[in-house]
Amino acid sequence: MKLLDGRTLLANIKEELKSEVAAIIDHNERPPHLAAVLVGNDPSSLSYVASKEKACHQVGITSSVYQYPENFTENELLRVIDFLNNDQDIDGYIVQLPLPPHIDPNKIIQSISPDKDVDGFHPYNLGRMMMGQPSFIPATPLGIMQMLERYQIETEGKHCVVLGRSMIVGTPVSILLSRKAKPGNATVTLCHSYTQNLKEICLSADILIVAIGKPHFVTADMVKEGSVVIDVGIHRIPDSTKEKGYTIVGDVDFEEVSKKTEWISPVPGGVGNMTIAGLLMNTLKAWKQRNIRQNIY
Ligand code: GUN
């Protein structure tokens, strides 16, 4: 078993981005600026946004957070989005999901300017991605593709099974892996809650990508010997033996599954880091697109 080590990859990508940002600053340009909008106090969202801020700081990207209470209205949020769309000092921004139930996430996502949509969730970017045209690719799928590319995992002609069809991970990953590109050219099966014979399908996977949101869902009897397993899940499980009172686990039973795989991504230390890498890459791309349009860079 070999580890798909997201921490090391993130450190490498941060070094690459840091020197690009340093070159921008050397040219007396404003560094890239990423903003995050957070509504409410969801602990996972607070922790994601804090990690994104820290990573931005480490590479020299300016970061700002717009935080609002749980009872913030949809109209108030739309006004914030309008402000961010028009602020020339912000290259890209994300609206952290999930939003409180009284806010329609689709309405919000569709009002984000596509050229600042560094999450790649706007229909314009998702549509372009589907057509194989340049676009912002959602951060977690982009991070997973980077992981496959940088570890030189062959995807061409392989059977890739994706568990979970969310708009954030499963659906875009299935599109990217089946695209005529490198990595890509895979035969993809996208599984969800209505899939029959799930175990048999998983057993036929050369590459299994698990984004199902259930702790330890994938067990060793579902995994082919010598396959590649990428675990997107992140769950806090109460654990009184730990100082923090919880352990972090993924959607895969790492301990048992790792005995059968050739490559596997751990949790923590795997895809979570790659999501941050994807977001930083998209932010620099947004900066470049703005400045190329303005003939500065
Ligand atoms: N919530 C969980 N993952 C994500 C993500 O990648 N982007 C945003 N905006 N919210 C999320």
Q: What is the mean pLDDT of each run of 10 residues along the chain (297 residues)?
A: 98 98 96 98 93 98 98 98 98 98 98 98 98 97 98 98 98 98 98 98 98 98 98 95 94 98 98 98 97 66
Say if residues 228 and 218 touch (Cβ distance below 8 Å): no
Known active-site residue 52: yes
* β-bridge pairing 246-249 and 235-238: antiparallel
| The one catalytic residue among 52, 116, 158, 224 | 52
Q: Please report, to the nearest 10 degrees, the dihedral formed by the alpha carbons of residues 5, 7, 9, 15 taken in order.
A: -160
Pocket of ligand 1 (CB under 6 A): 94-97, 119, 139-140, 168, 275
Pocket test of ligand 1: the residue of 116, 119, 271 to mutate, having most ligand atoms within 8 Å of its CB, is: 119
- Return the amino acid letter for 6: G
Dihedral pair phi/psi, residue 54, rounded to 5°: -60, -45
Task: Tell me what pLDDT residue 18 has.
Answer: 98
CA of residue 295 to ligand 1 center, whole Å: 32
CA-closest residue to ligand 1 atom 9: 96
Task: Tell me what pLDDT residue 294 has.
Answer: 66
User: Which string of DSSP letters, residue by residue, matches 133-145?
Assistant: -S-PPPHHHHHHH
Pocket test of ligand 1: the residue of 97, 108, 280 to mutate, having most ligand atoms within 8 Å of its CB, is: 97
Q: Please report, to the nearest 10 degrees, the dihedral formed by the alpha carbons of residues 256, 257, 261, 263 taken in order.
A: -110
**Quick one: tokens of 27?**
């040219």
Task: Tell me what pLDDT residue 292 has.
Answer: 80
Say if residues 172 and 129 touch (Cβ distance below 8 Å): yes
| The one catalytic residue among 119, 206, 231, 253 | 119
Known active-site residue 119: yes
Burial of residue 120 (CB within 10 Å: 0-12, 13-18, 19+) is buried
